[in-house]
Amino acid sequence: MSAKEEDILKILSEDLLRLEDIHACMVARKNLEGIVPITDEFKAEITEIWGMLKDTLNEFFDIISHYSKYGLDKVTFEMGKYDVMFYILPGSDTALVAIVPALANRGLLEVELENARRRIMRIIETE
Amino acid sequence: MNALANPLAPREEIELNLVYNKVTKPADKQKKIKCGIGMSTQWDPAEAGREAIKKAISQLGYEKPKAVFVFTTIHYENKKSGSKKLLKACCELIPDGTPLIGGTITGFICPEGFTVRGAVVVAISGDLDCTSEYFNNVRSNPIKAGKTVGRKIRKGLSSSKKPNKVLFNYISGPKESHIWTTDYIKKIISKVPPDLFFRFRDALCSISAKYLQEGVGFEDIILESMETELKDYYMFGSGTFDDLKARRNYLFHGNKVFPSALVSLGISTDREIVRKRYFPLTHSGKKFKIKRGWKNYWIDEINGKPAITEYSESLGYPEYFIEAHTERFMHTLFQLPLGFEYNNYEYAFPTGFFMGKSILTNLQIKTDIVELLYTSNALFIKSIGEYFDGLDPEKRYFTLAMAISTLIGNFGSKIAIIKDILDEKSKGDPYLLLFGSGDFFKVPGSQVVFSDYSLSFLSIES
């Protein structure tokens, strides 16, 4: 794993996954290629439905890769007891993805997800 | 150990280059008052406190701070004595006896960033006089709390010859009373007839406040009793809050942490003070006649009908929807406050807590007519621009601003837009926008105003 990937993983594991309402998160593209913390770090509730969520996530990456170039910024879908939030890394087919409880205060989570996306972009853009 | 208490071998001091009074940034020499603002998002409370105060102090050019504000999100309290550890770390790096106040808030924006998880420290140095006070268990006797602290602050600054006086107040904001939400109480509430319900409810409110230090914060009562002592003061501040759950909040004074208190810092200065309040809401024109309950904090009836029945109908939601989707509906309600006008000031409050068929607010409703209002992110942003454009361009200021916590939820990731505007408009001068529970506004000679949803600024000339 490169130093940049390690830094991004640190943001996922230490900044986001430690928040009570972030059940899982990753920086990924289609087929969940990318930087995904070990699933042991995800909250237990998620592991039961992880397989189903993975399939659904994949469908959305098609939309992201199509519309990212037009400035698509965020996508959220609600599935049962969970919301899945995609924070697209500008102009790419990759997104910071977070799975949160449907009843969480999405506004507060958005603030920290935006912070994380910005930090990730800074890491990616660093020479 | 205090970094200044042992000047011979303070390892921390050497590491930090904290040589107070010896290093001064040349560009800052003309400033009579300096302000440094540092933030941290470290999870460990002590590390967060240390990091934030180091940054703040370094911006003073390592001058001794005369006063320090510490605000944190509620996360540090998830660890045992987390806030205490954070404050201890701050206190170790400032001279003994430096007034320090603050508390928990939902989030903040400062030049370094924005967050709903972290700590921010404001350190002020230079030509100003300061004094701080606190009153614990404030809900037991809010009038006494306001009067006592007001009197002590006035006494503390009585020898100061500087003409402009500002009082910064932070008061424990609303906390959901845990006895109201027990299954047993809920069962009783659902069964008692209306007349008995109100008596039962009023008793619960009184018990919660007096003995459990929970429920509404009585900010308006405290401020109004304080005002009689401090007519010539500017006032600024807010209620403390948590991550929008309204379960707990804390106040800081020195290295002490209180769950239900009033903490105040008075300053006097001969520098210019600019104080302005905006009300960035749009009026719907939809007005309701209400019947108020328990100390004017409850709406029991709207247009002669049970409050929730009429309120939900007027918003176009069937009543059962509110009961079935309380959490989701609350988020919507935060964007639909109610308001009223009183003595030429506009007030607004959220309507997010219900009991029986009544609606609880966090401020005293002063009229029988209230209006449905809409929050407006556009107006909020416009107000920021208007305020900074109105400051004297020849002078330098540092600016503190207050807004209601729920707005940070409304803005979500778009909070970055607010930061961009603050960065642009403040032209490099320090600023801090806090999201707390309501906003306290007062200018010398006028009444104090406690309202939610207003956006209020205080700038002090550097």
What pLDDT does residue B2 have?
Answer: 44
Residue A87 to residue B107, Cβ atoms within 8 A? no
Q: Which residues of A touch B243 (CB under 8 A)?
A: 105, 108
Contacts of B83 (CB under 8 A, 6+ apart): B45, B72, B76, B77, B104, B250, B252, B257
Pair of tokens at residue B281:
């809401």
- What is d(CA A40, CA B329) in angstroms, rounded to the nearest whole number? 34
Three-state DSSP class for A17?
coil
B10: pLDDT strictly greater than 60: no
Test mutation, A19, A76, A87, A108, chain B, max B CBs within 10 A: A108
Q: Poorest-confidence range of B26-40, B332-346, B399-413?
A: B26-40
Check residue A76 and give left, alpha or beta (phi > 0: left; psi -120 to 50: alpha): beta
Nearest to B242 by CA among B173, B179, B169, B182: B173
The answer to whether residues B455 and B383 touch, using CB atoms and an 8 Å cutoff, is: yes
B312: pLDDT strictly greater than 90: no
Query: Which is higher by pLDDT, A51 or B119?
Result: B119
Smallest Cβ distance to B413: which of A14, A103, A110?
A110
Contacts of B334 (CB under 8 A, 6+ apart): B350, B352, B375, B406, B409, B410
Average pLDDT along chain B: 90
What pLDDT does residue A47 have?
Answer: 76
B256: pLDDT strictly greater than 70: yes
Nearest to B237 by CA among B449, B17, B23, B462: B449
Nearest to A12 by CA among A27, A23, A1: A27
What pLDDT does residue B449 have?
Answer: 96
B215: pLDDT strictly greater than 90: yes
The answer to whether residues B138 and B261 touch, using CB atoms and an 8 Å cutoff, is: yes
Average pLDDT along chain A: 89
Phi–psi pair at B75, nearest 5 degrees: -55, -35
What is the nearest CA distance from A114 to chain B, expressed in angstroms?
Answer: 5
* pLDDT level of residue B28 (50, 70, 90 thresholds): low
Pair of tokens at residue B301:
């009836």
Smallest Cβ distance to A108: which of B113, B327, B408?
B408
CA distances from B142 to A49, B131, B146, B166, B367 (A): 51, 21, 6, 21, 22
B244: pLDDT strictly greater than 80: yes
What pLDDT does residue B226 have?
Answer: 95
Residue A103 to residue B327, Cβ atoms within 8 A? yes
- The two beta strands, B358-360 and B369-375, are unpaired
Residue B115 to residue A115, Cβ atoms within 8 A? yes
Residue A107 to residue B412, Cβ atoms within 8 A? yes
Average pLDDT over residues B133-153: 97
B190: pLDDT strictly greater than 90: no
What is the nearest CA distance from B117 to chain A, expressed in angstroms?
Answer: 8
B128: pLDDT strictly greater than 70: yes
Three-state DSSP class for A9?
helix
Residue B357 CA from chain centroid, whole number: 29
The answer to whether residues B163 and B267 touch, using CB atoms and an 8 Å cutoff, is: no
Sequential DSSP letters for B106-136: SEEEETTEEESSSEEEEEEEES-EEEEEEEE
Return the residue matching tokens 């810092």: B265
- What is d(CA B3, CA A112) in angstroms, rounded to the nearest whole number? 34
Q: Poorest-confidence range of A58-72, B312-326, B330-344?
A: B312-326
What is the nearest CA distance from B243 to chain A, expressed in angstroms?
Answer: 8
Residue A108 to residue B116, Cβ atoms within 8 A? yes
Sequential DSSP letters for B2-56: -TTT-SS--HHHHHHT--TTT---GGGTT-SEEEEEEEE--SSHHHHHHHHHHHH
Residue A111 to residue B115, Cβ atoms within 8 A? yes
What pLDDT does residue B331 have?
Answer: 73
The amino acid at B269: T
Q: Which residues of A touch B327 (CB under 8 A)?
A: 103
Residue B416 to residue A15, Cβ atoms within 8 A? no
What pLDDT does residue A74 have?
Answer: 93
Length of chain B, please? Answer: 462
- Tell me the per-residue pLDDT of A74-94, one tens digit each, with 9 for 90 and over: 999 888 888 999 999 998 999
Smallest Cβ distance to B117: which of A19, A110, A118?
A19
Test mutation, A20, A74, A105, A121, chain B, max B CBs within 10 A: A105
What is the nearest CA distance from B247 to chain A, expressed in angstroms?
Answer: 15
- Tell me the per-residue pLDDT of B354-393, one tens digit each, with 9 for 90 and over: 888 899 999 999 999 999 999 999 999 999 999 999 999 9
Three-state DSSP class for B210?
helix
Contacts of A102 (CB under 8 A, 6+ apart): A78, A80, A81, A82, A83
B405: pLDDT strictly greater than 60: yes
Smallest Cβ distance to B412: which of A14, A18, A106?
A106
What pLDDT does residue B11 have?
Answer: 44
Residue B412 to residue A112, Cβ atoms within 8 A? no
What pLDDT does residue B23 have?
Answer: 44
Residue A111 to residue B413, Cβ atoms within 8 A? yes
Query: Which is higher by pLDDT, B211 or B25?
Result: B211
Residue B107 to residue A111, Cβ atoms within 8 A? yes
The answer to whether residues B298 and B292 touch, using CB atoms and an 8 Å cutoff, is: yes
What pLDDT does residue B314 have?
Answer: 86
The answer to whether residues A19 and A109 touch, using CB atoms and an 8 Å cutoff, is: yes
Nearest to B115 by CA among B62, B76, B142: B76
Return the CA Rg of chain B: 22
Nearest to B279 by CA among B156, B427, B402: B402
Nearest to B120 by CA among B133, B104, B96, B134: B104
- Tell me the per-residue pLDDT of B422-453, one tens digit each, with 9 for 90 and over: 999 999 999 999 999 999 999 999 999 999 99
Pair of tokens at residue B243:
């991550």
B323: pLDDT strictly greater than 80: no
Residue B409 to residue A105, Cβ atoms within 8 A? yes
Alpha helices in chain A (DSSP H): 3-10, 44-67, 106-125
pLDDT > 70 in chain B, percent: 92
Residue B41 to residue A19, Cβ atoms within 8 A? no
Q: Poorest-confidence range of B57-61, B300-304, B355-359, B437-441?
A: B355-359
The amino acid at B65: P
* pLDDT level of residue B82 (50, 70, 90 thresholds): very high
Longest dimension (CA), chain B: 74
B61: pLDDT strictly greater than 50: yes
What is the nearest CA distance from B26 to chain A, expressed in angstroms?
Answer: 32
What pLDDT does residue B9 have?
Answer: 35
* pLDDT level of residue B327 (50, 70, 90 thresholds): low
